[in-house]
Structure 1
């Protein structure tokens, strides 16, 4: 409920303090995500060793958090008639969720392949028959830019309702220069037209397109020579799908090295279906994240942990939707000191879901996360996976005011209510959205 407070009276010789533009009061639990190391992602015991304030407030001036603490410490003099006040009513308040792995921009869907999956065909079987990613490529190449933008904006509205305040958007459904550049352009434009921050990632190396069938190295050479130079300033990250049926470890290494030389930060899809060694290779190159990791071995996980900065982004809704038994070894990775984040991997083939809360619950049920670890994995560590942790991912003075008010009184209920959306209010940059 929004209310307005009376304006304080000034005293002679003492100017009025700058009023808060937004105050969230009566937070039953304020999940700050603060208190751990600030120079690297949370790992090991730090993943759950962060501060929760009870009966607390958080205040903003414009888009920035300027104060927080117990309600007894609230300076009422900074609450004026211009202050928008949200009463959390004893419920949980936490940082806005960060979606660090999505395939936002595409045309069509693959509902027609769902039946094939139910009849036992594997992800790679469908891809080899010309379906899967290639099916979406055909639809996306044919779609006008206006349609792609409208689809992306609709998805972003849905994400915002789930409490997503920052979202990574991969290309990868064009597999030619013109369409891939269009997908990055659409992602950037979608970010400008609505409040959720959109971070574009170039995934032109998703699979080998029909025009280069049987010539993966030639396709990667084309991307490095013709497409990456055209992306300067439009995408910060370059990604590749290192997997059987896509790109080998050797080809992926060469391509990522070329991308790094051009100034891009690196990501990789690896160890989703087989243990090929892509995660360790990418971490050696300084990748910001290694994503999927379902088949990541303990020795390679140790190599990722040794980097200190590479985040393992785990995607539990993918094996759920593909009806696979193998989930990423989350408990083992945490024990080994690997920084972990969680995301949906929203895409039309292996995860047509925007429900990051469900992914959080599945990480607890299938990957061994505790509730506090899972919350850190969708906030601060997910921000690290986009190199945005200095700005977002925790509730701290000086950070951007991206926050959520939930409809639960205790953080332990978040994974318990399976698949439900607990969001009551979404605050992005200090502005309240229903």
Structure 2
């Protein structure tokens, strides 16, 4: 046997591995994972087969057939995992940007028929091919930033036919290019326009007409937006309970704009992730960590309050200190975060949420993988996982959040193939 791919002379090899880990990285473990100075990663048939310091490299397995990448003292780490996006949608909402600058809030624009509902109109009017081509263009951009696995939510159809179309388009986009796409069903984004003022009736329609037509093996997660102007805690609980009975794993958008208690409710039901959490109190985070034994991941989205010009950011430092695992995502979408720069989200998590560089890197790799059920496949550098790796144009971990807004990616490797 010979290695098919070898990345050698890595300055800082960020493995994201810890001994005896059986869940997301929480508390001190979110920063106390293994970094190998002067390391290597060896791959065979699309999988990692060996990781270690250069003196331990088995030179006999490096042959003329081995593709060798010289890291030359640079940082090497797992491919980024983008764990909260709204990938497939029609049009954009640039026309609402001026309204935001004039002081209108997210909920003001939604209540006037704009926001999510504006994108719903554009999405319903778009053809499958138009939606697919736009999604593929976005995936090229994500890959440019080193994203190798990505979650794609529906939620801009808000009727049976369009929501199912969005799932098909996301799945097709995953098949047509190398970034792995994990679809999630967010039909419960807000009530569809035909159900204005009837949130429970809309959720009943989803449970009766849509969820039975979706396979949990192909679309593992059901999500809901629990917020004023969307769905109440009581309605969200009912819906998530129905989804769980049908075999889906659970997610929630909650505590984005108000402290309603949605995060604790979803964690009680066994949610894999609680997303946004800008208004989640540290005491509640500690209760969630204790109740779930650190298995529920808080997915924080710092680019959203930045773009919406809000002052409240999730207290990520307090969450980690309370033992709640933290992941970071962009929340790429046409309304509250039209950005695919996950590095900028990582940097803002350090600046506004109190994460250290090591915690922030864990938040966009292994913890992000846990939050979308991909922890066995990606997120860390260890034998048996997919060979998804990045070579960065920085020499140390500490420089990753330092170069604000820059994309440090030099090489992207997905499934053992240079992209």
Q: Same fold (TM over 0.5)?
A: yes
Instruction: Please tell me whether the aligned partners of residues 205 and 241 of structure 1 are also in contact (alpha carbons under 8 angstroms).
Output: yes
1:341 to 327, 342, 366: 327
Q: Which residue of 1 aligns with 2:362?
A: 376
The correspondence of residues 191-206 of structure 1 with structure 2, limited to 5 A, is 191-206=174-189
Secondary structure in structure 2 of the residue aligned to 1:353: coil
Mapped to 2, the partners of 1:21 and 1:360 lie a distance apart of 32
Deviation at 1:297, TM superposition (A): 1.4
Matching of residue 244 in structure 1 with residue 228 in structure 2: yes
Mapped to 2, the partners of 1:244 and 1:226 lie a distance apart of 25
Matching of residue 172 in structure 1 with residue 155 in structure 2: yes
TM-score, normalized by length of structure 1? 0.95
Q: Which residue of 1 aligns with 2:170?
A: 187
Matching of residue 298 in structure 1 with residue 285 in structure 2: no
Q: Which residue of 2 aligns with 1:3?
A: none
Secondary structure in structure 2 of the residue aligned to 1:318: helix
Mapped to 2, the partners of 1:202 and 1:375 lie a distance apart of 27
Mapped to 1, the partners of 2:44 and 2:193 lie a distance apart of 53
2:145 to 162, 169, 173: 162
Q: Which residue of 2 aligns with 1:309?
A: 295
Q: Which residue of 1 aligns with 2:92?
A: 109
Mapped to 2, the partners of 1:178 and 1:426 lie a distance apart of 36
Structure 1 residues 399 and 335: alpha-carbon distance in aligned structure 2, compared to 1, 3 A threshold: same
Deviation at 1:69, TM superposition (A): 1.1
Instruction: Please tell me whether the aligned partners of residues 36 and 49 of structure 1 are also in contact (alpha carbons under 8 angstroms).
Output: no
Matching of residue 398 in structure 1 with residue 384 in structure 2: yes
Mapped to 2, the partners of 1:398 and 1:150 lie a distance apart of 33
Mapped to 2, the partners of 1:427 and 1:223 lie a distance apart of 39
Structure 1: segments with no counterpart, 5+ residues: 1-17
After alignment, is 230-239 or 148-157 more displaced?
A: 230-239
Per-residue CA shift, 1:264-296, capped at 9, x if unaligned? 000000000000000000000000000000000
Instruction: Please tell me whether the aligned partners of residues 392 and 400 of structure 1 are also in contact (alpha carbons under 8 angstroms).
Output: yes
Mapped to 2, the partners of 1:403 and 1:290 lie a distance apart of 27
Secondary structure in structure 1 of the residue aligned to 2:286: helix
Secondary structure in structure 1 of the residue aligned to 2:265: helix
Secondary structure in structure 1 of the residue aligned to 2:397: coil
Mapped to 2, the partners of 1:317 and 1:36 lie a distance apart of 33
Deviation at 1:62, TM superposition (A): 1.2
2:102 to 102, 106, 119: 119
The correspondence of residues 269-288 of structure 1 with structure 2, limited to 5 A, is 269-288=253-272
Matching of residue 138 in structure 1 with residue 153 in structure 2: no
Matching of residue 362 in structure 1 with residue 363 in structure 2: no
Per-residue CA shift, 1:143-177, capped at 9, x if unaligned? 00000000000000000010000000000000000
Instruction: Please tell me whether the aligned partners of residues 25 and 325 of structure 2 are also in contact (alpha carbons under 8 angstroms).
Output: yes
Larger radius of gyration: 1
Q: Which residue of 1 aligns with 2:315?
A: 329
Instruction: Please tell me whether the aligned partners of residues 253 and 282 of structure 1 are also in contact (alpha carbons under 8 angstroms).
Output: yes
The correspondence of residues 23-102 of structure 1 with structure 2, limited to 5 A, is 23-102=6-85
Per-residue CA shift, 1:313-351, capped at 9, x if unaligned? 000000000000000010110111001100000000000
Mapped to 1, the partners of 2:332 and 2:282 lie a distance apart of 27
Matching of residue 152 in structure 1 with residue 138 in structure 2: no
Q: Which residue of 1 aligns with 2:252?
A: 268
Mapped to 1, the partners of 2:405 and 2:383 lie a distance apart of 32
Deviation at 1:303, TM superposition (A): 2.5
Secondary structure in structure 2 of the residue aligned to 1:188: helix
Structure 2: segments with no counterpart, 5+ residues: none
Per-residue CA shift, 1:365-404, capped at 9, x if unaligned? 0000000000000000000001111221000111111110
TM-score, normalized by length of structure 2? 0.98
Q: Which residue of 1 aligns with 2:219?
A: 235
Q: Which residue of 1 aligns with 2:393?
A: 407
After alignment, is 296-305 or 107-116 more displaced?
A: 296-305
Instruction: Please tell me whether the aligned partners of residues 319 and 326 of structure 1 are also in contact (alpha carbons under 8 angstroms).
Output: yes
Instruction: Please tell me whether the aligned partners of residues 48 and 387 of structure 2 are also in contact (alpha carbons under 8 angstroms).
Output: yes
Mapped to 1, the partners of 2:344 and 2:137 lie a distance apart of 20
Deviation at 1:36, TM superposition (A): 4.4
Mapped to 2, the partners of 1:292 and 1:50 lie a distance apart of 25
Mapped to 1, the partners of 2:20 and 2:316 lie a distance apart of 21
Instruction: Please tell me whether the aligned partners of residues 142 and 340 of structure 2 are also in contact (alpha carbons under 8 angstroms).
Output: yes
Instruction: Please tell me whether the aligned partners of residues 30 and 54 of structure 1 are also in contact (alpha carbons under 8 angstroms).
Output: yes
Secondary structure in structure 2 of the residue aligned to 1:412: helix
Q: How many residues align?
A: 416
Mapped to 1, the partners of 2:18 and 2:118 lie a distance apart of 46
Mapped to 2, the partners of 1:303 and 1:124 lie a distance apart of 29
